[in-house]
Structure formats: structure tokens, C-alpha cells
Chain A
């Protein structure tokens, strides 16, 4: 199962090997996951509901502790000792931006991560402004998150994570609940970032648009790994893992720019 399709640089952004996990109630969700994401790659993590995607994501920054196997972020193993640094390096954008944006104003929310890491004063301010500019929300710094549209909130949620200058950006269903315009805007933003991206999604066209490579998590293991287009065109594979393309969408007909 070990994917060696990508030639990884010295230390890949993310290296998961043999990861297994069972919840305290005994339910096992992961059965030995192996996944390597090279620096600067954009990878889509696909899989049916209940495949263990969220469980896997929560291992990446040590919220869940591996029962077996290891997770390494840019050479640094995930563990109690370097948890603060791991959480800075792995930026998770959760599905509901209302969960992610818990501070009273956008500025404070974006500042939360870097401030927790010890940044203060003008340096912190600069970090906040930079992150907000990258998602095109610099004009909204003093607004309360509740007053923003859903798409804007999702972009701010991305900024909150970018402000921590993460090694890898992990997005949980980034396109859910977005109107087509917001969806495209977010895609433009994600493409413009020079950061490793792991994107958990059910939105297969979005995965095809943004991620050259996809992996399928099914039954707690990586069941497929390869070019997104090839993967989506493999009807049998898709069917086996309960992945379905939207009506009228033909991945073969899409020509990718790069």
C-alpha cells in the first residue's frame, strides 16, 4: 500500500506510517495508514462517510494519539514533547467556520494562533495583516465573524491558520456550503498559496480542479493513491469506495492547466 508515486524531498511535509487507532469505546477507525505528502504538494483525501478521514486529520496535529504507527511533520514526530510546534506547523481548517472563529473580532481570531505561540506587538500585527491579505479579507479585521457571509467566514478561517505559517494546510470539506462564486474565490486563494495542502473532500470536481494527486481512504486504510484525473476515471475503483461524480460531470473531458 505504500505509495511511492511521488519523489519526496529530504523531509516531506507529512509522513504517516502504519497509523492505527481505536476509539476508547473499542471502535477501530484506522488500520495502518501510510501516506506521504511532499513539500508544496496539493493532495485530496477522498473517501466515503465513516472511512476515518476526520480521525486521520485529528492525528495530524496530535489531538488524537496514535495507537500504533507514527506521524511526522517536516521531520518532526508528533508527540507530547513538541506538541506546540506541531500545532503551529499543521494548520487545520475545520468544516464549520463558526467553530473555527471563536474570538470576538476577525483580527483577534487571526491573532489567536500566533499569539498563543508567543508573538506580540507589531510583529503580531504584521502577521495578522499578511494572513488576511492573502485571503483578501484585510478590510474586515475589526468585524465580528458573525457579521460576515459564509464564504467570507471560510476565508477568514483559512487566514487564522495561515497566520501561523504552517508547514501543511489541512482543509476539512473546504467547499461545503459555498456558493459557486465563493467556491471559485477560495480555489483561487488556495492555488495562490505556496504551502502544502491536504484537502479532505467529497467534492470531486473541486479535488480535480485543485489537487493533482488524490488518495482514497476507505475502511481505515489508504485504498488508492494517484493522479486525481486517473483516479476519478477509474469507474470500478470509484464504485468500490462509494465515490460518485456529480451528474453530468465527466473527469475525462477536463483539461487541467497545470
Chain B
């Protein structure tokens, strides 16, 4: 994976999904996840259909299944939580292969697993098909306050620079024979963290000077503006609308 700005989840490509304007994609994914979350957990088949929808979207984006599945690993801590749930939850118990499990706990576990997994899959798909810069522009188009977008883009721009500084400090520590092995060494590490903060803050001040020197007065000039056509919106809406249909079915059946 390319480091830095083409962030870790991004997969370069020219699929119809890649070509959609970022704000359409963000809105679509958000609505999709919202629909998924509001689906009753008892409608097991609905989640199957959602998975099919996601798979179809991934297919259209030409994101290989393996890539998507690998990225789902981020969910693991909550899988552990879900697995525990049938054991600790209240309510009537059922016997599954000799274990006494809570029925509602099982439902709860299923609920979290299904919804969480679909949510992560949708987000991964978004991140895999949208460049970082585009994501920020998309958020801005969706009326996220410009100041917030600016802060986010500075964070992205300097995240690498600061991580790099952190790495250099670590190498400097190692070169002087220091290796943190336990709690005793936290003091040294914290000193590095403190130094990192000072450097970051001072860099912030220098960046500010550099910006003011080029005529910055508090608002970013609009340089690239993406607009979406009705057709693009319609295409992006396909996913959440289909999901909504499934969801409504889930509630009625």
C-alpha cells in the first residue's frame, strides 16, 4: 500500500464507483448504514440481502472480496464482545451443544456482529474508492463546517510529518541504547511525547505564518469544486434505496 496520502485503505481504480462524486458516496454510505442499523435483528434474511448489496457495490467498484474481508479485521475487538454476550446476557436460556446460552444474548450478539460487519464493510468500500482529498471535499460539500474541514486536512497533511518525527525520535533513543521495556521507561517515552507536542504546536505557529504570508484571512479559497449531476446522485442512491426497501420488508414481514 502506498504510504502517506493515498491512505492505507484506498485502492486506485477507474470503476463507476470511483468516478462518483465523493459527497454522493458519503451520503449513500451513511444512509445505507443508518438503514442497516434500524433493521430489526429478527429479520435475519434482510442482513443477507444487505450483504449481497454490499457485494454488488464492491463488484461494481472492482474491489476484490479478499481485500474487503481482510479489512473487516478491524472489528475483531467487538467480535470478542459479541461472543461473550450469550454467556452474560439475561433472559431465558437455550441449550446449544451443551452450553446454556441466553436467548436474548444470542440475538444481541447476532445484532452487533451483523450490523457492525455491514457498517465496516460499507465504510471500507467508501474509503477504498475515494481519495483522501476527495473525502474531505465531499464532507465540505455536505455542509461540514469549513473550519472543521480545514482542521481535518491539516491533520491529514501533518499526520505523516509528525509520525515521522516520532519515528526519528525513536531511532534517536534506540541509537543511544535506550529501549522501552516496561513501565519504568514511561518517563522517557512521555518526555518524547511532550517534545513532540511542543514541536507540533510550534510547527502549527509556523504554518500559520506561512499561510498568513500568502494572504490567508481565515477562510480557505475554493480551488476545486465538485458538483454532482442528478444522474450521479441517482446512481449513488441505488444502494441506500435498495437497502431501505429491504429494511421496510424486514419490518413488515
Contact = CB atoms under 8 A, between A and B. Distances in A.
A and B touch in the complex (CB under 8 A): yes
Interface of A: 58, 61, 63, 84, 87-88, 90-92, 94, 96, 98-100, 102-105, 108, 111-113, 115-117, 120, 124, 144-147, 160-161, 164
A87 to B, nearest CB: 5
Interface of B: 4-6, 132-133, 136, 153-154, 156-158, 160-161, 203, 206-207, 209-217, 221-224
B213 A92 contact: yes
A87 B211 CA distance: 10
A64 to B, nearest CB: 10
A103 B212 contact: no
Given A99-B206, A146-B160, A112 B223 contact: yes
A161 B214 contact: yes
A97 B161 CA distance: 12
Given A88-B215, A98-B203, A164-B215, 15 more contacts: A87-B215, A92-B213, A98-B158, A102-B154, A104-B136, A104-B156, A112-B211, A112-B221, A113-B214, A120-B222, A144-B6, A145-B157, A147-B4, A160-B214, A161-B214
Most buried by A among B132, B206, B221: B221
Contacts of B6: 144
B181 to A, nearest CB: 32
A112 B222 CA distance: 9
A63 B212 contact: yes
Contacts of B214: 87, 91, 112-113, 116, 160-161, 164
Most buried by A among B133, B212, B216, B223: B223
Contacts of A116: 214-217, 221
A104 B223 contact: no
A84 B221 CA distance: 14
Contact of B206 (A94, A108, A115, A144): A94
Q: DSSP majority for the A interface?
A: helix
A184 B158 CA distance: 29
B4 A94 contact: no
B209 A104 contact: no
A146 B132 CA distance: 14
A94 B5 contact: no
28 contacts: A63-B209, A63-B212, A87-B212, A87-B215, A90-B213, A94-B209, A94-B210, A98-B158, A98-B203, A99-B203, A99-B206, A99-B207, A102-B158, A102-B207, A102-B210, A104-B132, A108-B133, A115-B221, A116-B215, A116-B216, A116-B217, A116-B221, A117-B215, A124-B223, A144-B6, A147-B5, A161-B214, A164-B215
Contacts of A124: 223
Contacts of B212: 63, 87
B199 to A, nearest CB: 11
Contacts of A102: 154, 157-158, 207, 210-211
6 tightest CB-CB pairs across the interface, nearest first?
Answer: A115-B221, A144-B5, A116-B215, A113-B214, A99-B206, A104-B133
Contacts of A147: 4-5
Nearest to A85: B215
Contacts of A90: 213
A63 B213 CA distance: 7
Nearest to A115: B221
A108 B213 contact: no
A40 B210 CA distance: 24
A103 B151 CA distance: 11
A96 B206 contact: yes
Contacts of B207: 99, 102
Nearest to B216: A116
Contacts of A112: 211, 214, 216, 221, 223
Nearest to B161: A98
Contacts of A99: 203, 206-207, 209-210
Contacts of B210: 92, 94, 99-100, 102
